[in-house]
């Protein structure tokens, strides 16, 4: 069956992982999106046009991460990769802890699934496994794929996830700085072991955070305390560390978004979120962009154009 002429449009949300205590486990999809159009052509290879974030910076050939994700999916499903034209409209900042690499991977895998519709059936578990193979951890790709609040874990049979709906009283705020931080550097600062009491502390806070986000938003401040990763990574992003301290001293549930350096603030109303945003913008030594966002509940979507 020829795929030439097939076109799909894909929309994938930004994500924030860890959420404080849920290291490498919890993730949240946010209403900030990268959009992609992929068409199959006669000529081999791939040509990528990038608009918005990453324009003039990311590769526009077969080495592009989205193209690599499409190729990975076709290969895993036993299909030959056709020639591709891609148009990407990116809004998610790169290198800021908002899951941009996971979003690119999920964009490619979702596009491949759409292009192969009617040729190969791919269930959600296989999608998560393919995405995790490329990303290395399921905590960002799970919410990008499925939306909402996700708990992700690994098993001998592969990664798994559980999607939960977030209480309508939770109002996320993301604070994005001008500087970037590599995930590899952030992870290199993690100790190989932590004190037993710190592990127990995070287990309790992670359990409490699930309750706070799904049932009891008034518990969100206490439930976002962490002893496993944020303190160790603070030296790599002192401006993030210091602004989180200012926000938490003022009573706001501020945490590092993913590996950083962006900050996630889980507020309990739009009014509280507006005050927190004003405090952050006026307190930071360098400029911070405040993004009041909603929780995305759909995850990655695909539209068949032709």
CA 224 → CA 31, 193, 221, 248, 250, distances in Å? 21, 21, 6, 10, 14
Q: Say yes or no: domain 7-164+295-304 is CATH 3.30.230.10.
A: yes
Q: What mean pLDDT do residues 176-201 have?
A: 83
Query: In sequence order, which residues have a C-beta less than 8 Å from that of residue 184 and are 6 or more positions away?
Result: none
The pLDDT assigned to 139 comes to 95
Give the domain 171-292 fold: Alpha-Beta Plaits (3.30.70)
CA 45 → CA 34, 62, 110, 166, 257, distances in Å? 23, 7, 19, 42, 36
Does residue 183 carry a pLDDT above 80?
no
State if pTM tops 0.75.
yes
The pLDDT assigned to 184 comes to 72
Query: pLDDT confidence of 284, banded at 50, 70, 90?
Result: low
Q: What mean pLDDT do residues 209-237 have?
A: 93
pLDDT tens-place string over residues 1-18: 689 999 999 999 999 999
Q: Which residues are annotated binding-site positions? A: 93-103
Q: Which residues are annotated binding-site positions for ATP? A: 93-103
Write down the domain spans for the chain. Answer: 7-164+295-304, 171-292
């Amino acid at each position: 069956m020829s795929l030439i002429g097939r076109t799909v449009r894909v929309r994938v949300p930004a994500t924030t992982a860890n959420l404080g205590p849920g290291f490498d486990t919890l993730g949240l999809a946010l209403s900030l999106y990268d959009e992609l159009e992929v068409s199959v052509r006669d000529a081999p290879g791939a040509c990528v046009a990038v608009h918005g974030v990453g324009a003039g910076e990311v590769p526009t050939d077969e080495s592009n991460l989205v193209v690599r994700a499409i190729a990975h999916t076709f290969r895993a499903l036993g299909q030959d990769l056709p020639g591709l034209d891609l148009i990407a409209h990116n809004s998610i900042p790169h290198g800021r802890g908002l899951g941009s690499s996971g979003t690119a991977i999920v964009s490619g895998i979702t596009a491949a699934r759409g292009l192969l519709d009617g040729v190969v059936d791919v269930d959600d578990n296989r999608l998560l496994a393919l995405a995790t193979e490329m990303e290395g951890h399921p905590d960002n790709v799970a919410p990008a794929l499925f939306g909402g609040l996700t708990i992700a874990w690994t098993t001998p049979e592969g990664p798994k996830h559980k999607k939960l709906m977030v209480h309508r009283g939770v109002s996320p705020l993301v604070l994005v700085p001008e500087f970037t931080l590599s995930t590899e550097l952030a992870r290199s600062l993690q100790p190989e072991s932590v004190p037993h009491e710190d592990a127990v502390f995070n287990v309790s806070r992670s359990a409490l955070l699930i309750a706070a986000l799904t049932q009891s938003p008034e518990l969100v401040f206490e439930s976002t305390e962490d002893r496993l990763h944020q303190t160790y990574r603070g030296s790599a992003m002192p401006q993030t560390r210091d602004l989180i301290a200012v926000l938490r001293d003022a009573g706001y549930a501020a945490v590092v978004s993913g590996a950083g350096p962006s900050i996630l603030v889980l507020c309990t109303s739009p009014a509280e979120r507006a005050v927190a945003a004003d405090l952050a913008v006026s307190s930071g030594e360098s400029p911070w962009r405040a993004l009041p966002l909603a929780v995305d509940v759909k995850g990655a979507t695909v539209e068949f154009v032709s």
